[in-house]
Amino acid sequence: MPALPGLGDAPLQDMTLESLTSAVRYHAWLRDLAAPFLGEYPMEVGSGLGDYAAAFLAAGVPRMTLSDVEAVRLGALRARFADDARVDVVELNLARPLARQHSAVFAFNVLEHIEDDAGALRNAASMVRDDGAVIMLVPAFSFAMSDFDRKVGHMRRYTKRSLRRAFEEAGLELEVLHYVNAPGLLAWFVGMRLLRQTPTDGLPVRLWDRLIVPVARALETRIRPPFGQSVFAVARRRSPAHA
């Protein structure tokens, strides 16, 4: 498969995905943000190793479509879910959407890889039925852009304003928009931007996941912070009756 703009260093992406699996509380936090909007038949764009999907299925989501553009990850997804009749695995590039009618399309840390982000959002919306959800989690704040971001193919980091603009250009009505993981932004800026590190598993990640993530999650459930490591957004594809 030819490289796609913004796809980035696939082996480095794979290594990072594998190395951060111990951040179980952090990943549960992200899953729980998206879960209320998924419906009964969501599609995940950029499913990676399939860990989010496996957790959603275990929690009772009855049917899912998983996707990726990278051949090795696509093969791994097909192997992992080969015996699960609830799962359909497809090759998907948001520049060329498939004819689908899902209850939601969601992507964690994918949109920042795509040059035409508004076009990608329009294409995502084309794969959900009327009143279905388009759910995105993206990295936040350009001042935190690091060498690692660029190596894995990140073309930008967002603010709430810039992500809102992309959704509005796509003709989507935002329902939720807020920052996530305020302390994580500082950690990313110091570790990735200033010290030029690469995310790896180890004692610091496990301690952060055990001690910092639960506190940040509890606080941000009550008070939305003015900054964060990521921006989370949910929009609806409205039916003509609601237009």
The answer to whether 154 and 145 are in contact (CB under 8 A) is yes
Q: Residues 38-72: pLDDT tens digits?
A: 999 999 999 998 999 999 999 999 999 999 988 98
pTM above 0.85, yes or no: yes
Confidence at residue 238, expressed as pLDDT on a 0 to 100 scale: 76
42-44 and 128-139: which strand pairing? unpaired
**Contacting residues for 241 by C-beta, under 8 A, at least 6 apart:** none
For residue 47, the tally of other CB atoms under 10 A from its CB is: 29
Length of the chain: 243
Confidence at residue 18, expressed as pLDDT on a 0 to 100 scale: 47
DSSP for residue 190: I
41, two tokens: 């038949």
From CA 53, how far away is CA 106, in angstroms rounded? 11
Q: Delimit the domains of the chain by residue range.
A: 10-242
| pLDDT tens-place values along the chain, 243 residues long | 223 444 555 555 555 544 477 899 999 999 999 999 999 999 999 999 899 999 999 999 999 999 998 898 999 999 999 999 999 999 998 888 998 899 999 999 999 999 999 999 999 999 999 999 999 999 999 999 999 999 999 999 999 999 999 999 999 999 999 999 999 999 999 999 999 998 887 888 899 999 999 999 999 999 999 999 999 999 998 765 555
92, two tokens: 């998907």
User: Strand, coil or helix: what is 74?
Assistant: helix
Best CA proximity match to 121, nearest among 160, 165, 70: 165
Confidence at residue 240, expressed as pLDDT on a 0 to 100 scale: 59
For residue 176, the tally of other CB atoms under 10 A from its CB is: 13
Best CA proximity match to 95, nearest among 214, 226, 192, 4: 4
Q: Residues 185-198: pLDDT tens digits?
A: 999 999 999 999 98
The answer to whether 137 and 112 are in contact (CB under 8 A) is no
According to CATH, the topology of domain 10-242 is Rossmann fold (3.40.50)
Q: Which amino acid is at 106?
A: F
118, two tokens: 């508004």
Residue whose pair of structure tokens reads 């689908």 in the numeric block:
100
**Residue 76 parent element (H or E):** helix 71-80
DSSP for residue 143: G
User: Strand, coil or helix: what is 106?
Assistant: strand
Confidence at residue 100, expressed as pLDDT on a 0 to 100 scale: 86
51, two tokens: 């860990």
